[in-house]
Amino acid sequence: MNKSELIKRVSRDAGLNRGESVRAVKALVNAIRDTIKEGGKISLTGLGCFKVKARKGRPGRNPQSGAPIVIPAGRKISFKPSLAFKKLAKG
């Protein structure tokens, strides 16, 4: 499903017109982006939890030359699905 299909689905299921659905989906995406940017956590019951995790710097290798390099510390986005969501995927 892509964004356009999601908007159609929201429009149909929520009884909104297309313009309202576009604004609702954009607002949701922006809220998630802003929270992640601030380093926050988003927990959606029945879906899962998005959060930012810190990653330590570590040694690595350049794949072309094989020379050792240092991979800098950074942040990564983590998603942990809820138990109900996992069960849906298993069937």
Task: Give dist(CA 24, CA 26) in Å, integer.
Answer: 5
Q: Are 16 and 4 in contact (CB under 8 A)?
A: no
Task: Give 21: exposed, middle or buried? Use CB within 10 Å, 0-12, 13-18, 19+.
Answer: buried
Domain 3-90: give its CATH architecture.
Irregular (4.10)
Q: Which of 26, 22, 27 is nearest to 11 (CA)?
A: 22
Domain ranges of the chain: 3-90
What pTM was computed for the model? 0.75
Beta bridge partners of 68: 61
User: 5-64, pLDDT tens digit by residue?
Assistant: 999 999 999 999 999 999 999 999 999 999 999 999 999 999 999 999 999 999 999 999
